[in-house]
Structure 1
Amino acid sequence: MKKKFVVLLSAVTMLGGMAIGVGAAPVLEKITANLNWGIRYEVNGKQWTPKDQSGNKIAAINYNNTTYLPVRAVSDALGIAVKFDNKTQKITLGEKLATTPLTSEKIDVGYSSVVTTDKQYTVHDGKDYGSGVLMKEINVEQKVTFKPEGKHQTLELSVLPVSVSKEISVKVFNGEVLLKEVFLSPGGSGQSVTLDIKGAKELKVTAKLVDIIGASGTIFLAGTYK
Structure 2
Amino acid sequence: MKKKFIIALSSFTLLGGMAIGAGAAPILEKITANLNWGINYNISGKAWSPVDQNGKKLAAITYNNTTYLPVRSVGEALGVAVDYNGSSQTLTLGEKSDTTPITSEKIEVKYDSFVTKDKQFTVQQDKDYESGVVIKEIFIDQEFTLLPEGKYQTIELSVFPVKMNNKVSLKVFDGDILLKEFEVDSSSGKQTASFDIGGVKKLRFTTDIPNIGFTPQSMFVTGSYK
Say yes or no: TM over 0.5. yes
**Offset of 1:175 from its aligned partner?**
1.2
* Cα distance between partner residues in 2 of 1:72 and 1:155: 19
Q: Which is further off, 99-108 or 24-33?
A: 24-33
Asked whether the 8 Å contact 1:15–1:43 carries over to 2, the reply is: no
Asked whether the 8 Å contact 2:148–2:200 carries over to 1, the reply is: yes
**Offset of 1:97 from its aligned partner?**
1.3
Equivalent residue of 2:121, what SS?
helix
Partner of residue 119, structure 2:
119
**2:124 equivalent to 1:87:** no
Q: How does 1:68-147 map to 2 (within 5 A)?
A: 68-147=68-147
Per the alignment, do residues 160 and 42 of structure 1 end up closer, same or farther by CA in structure 2, a change over 3 Å counting? same
* TM-score normalised by structure 2 residue count: 0.90
**Offset of 1:16 from its aligned partner?**
4.3
Per the alignment, do residues 18 and 40 of structure 1 end up closer, same or farther by CA in structure 2, a change over 3 Å counting? same
**2:20 equivalent to 1:18:** no
Deviations along 1:92-147, one digit per CA (max 9) or x if unpaired, are 00011100001000100011111000000001100111000011001221010000
Q: Which amino acid aligns with 2:11?
A: G
**Offset of 1:199 from its aligned partner?**
2.3
Q: How many residues get paired?
A: 214
Structure 1 gaps, min length 5: 1-12
Equivalent residue of 2:73, what SS?
helix
Equivalent residue of 2:224, what SS?
strand
* Cα distance between partner residues in 2 of 1:14 and 1:152: 13
Asked whether the 8 Å contact 2:171–2:205 carries over to 1, the reply is: yes
**Offset of 1:21 from its aligned partner?**
2.4
RMSD: 1.7
Q: Which amino acid aligns with 2:42?
A: E
Q: Which amino acid aligns with 2:135?
A: M
Asked whether the 8 Å contact 2:77–2:199 carries over to 1, the reply is: no
Equivalent residue of 2:136, what SS?
strand
Deviations along 1:36-58, one digit per CA (max 9) or x if unpaired, are 11111111111101001111100
Partner of residue 196, structure 1:
196
Q: Which amino acid aligns with 2:150?
A: G
Equivalent residue of 1:21, what SS?
helix
Q: Which amino acid aligns with 1:71?
A: V
**Offset of 1:195 from its aligned partner?**
1.5
* Structure with a larger share of its residues in strand: 1
Identity of aligned residues (%): 52
Structure 2 gaps, min length 5: 13-19
Partner of residue 172, structure 1:
172
* TM-score normalised by structure 1 residue count: 0.90
